[in-house]
Structure 1
Amino acid sequence: MQGFPFFPDQASTFAGQIDLLYFVLVGLSLIFAGV
């Protein structure tokens, strides 16, 4: 896995905002799940 990018290249200009939304929703889900 050496050199494997954790985040792929962004395909569009608003991809970063979509990624942020995704991580916020995952984080909230983990909080409410009690993890």
Structure 2
Amino acid sequence: MVQPYDEHQNSYAVYSCVYVERKFYFNKHLSG
């Protein structure tokens, strides 16, 4: 049985990870 709340939390965690990775990549790219 999959709970919507857990599924939502997992999606949010993945989204956050991608966002942070992207942010770090852009900062690194802009800095040089």
Same fold (TM over 0.5): yes
Q: How many equivalent pairs are there?
A: 25
Higher helix proportion: 2
Structure 2 regions of 5+ residues with no counterpart?
28-32
- TM-score, normalised with respect to structure 1: 0.60
- TM-score, normalised with respect to structure 2: 0.65
Structure 1 regions of 5+ residues with no counterpart?
1-10
Instruction: With a CA cutoff of 8 Å and minimum separation of 6, indicate the structure with the bigger relative contact order.
Output: 1
Residue identity (%): 12
